[in-house]
Amino acid sequence: MNKEALFQECDFKAVRSSGPGGQHVNKTSTKVMLHWSLKDSNVFSEDQKQRLYKRLQNKLTTDDQLVLSYDQSRSQHKNKDEVFKNLVRLLENGLLKPKRRKKTKPSLASKKRRLDSKKRNAEKKANRKPPSF
């Protein structure tokens, strides 16, 4: 993934951060919102876009825009770096191909342990019954 090209495709917008903070939070725009369009991106191939669309479907807007925000730091530049790192992390996780599951059979020892525990439980429950004369 070409991070420089991805960075060029991102649209950053600084807005006022919410929460307590007094005068500083009321006069500075430190929260950074990132807008990135999946369908207009040139960084990924069509099959990668399809995989990302499936994996990020619940995070995309109606026009296939991914909107992320970050406001942990009081510095706009740090927030911009962090929101871009979050985007890269999200896209890298979305591109991972899941490993195919290998079919396995239970071992003989595990089958024996399961049957033994069933037998112990059956004996335990049978001993609870009153004796029949």
Residue 26 is encoded by which pair of tokens? 């009321």
pTM equals 0.71
Sheet of 31-37: strand order equals 11-15, 31-37, 65-70
Q: Which CATH number fits domain 1-133: 3.40.640.10, 3.30.160.20, 1.20.120.1760, 3.40.605.10?
A: 3.30.160.20
- Residue 25 pLDDT: 67
Q: What is the percentage of the chain residues whose pLDDT exceeds 90?
A: 70
Residues of the chain with pLDDT under 70: 19-22, 25
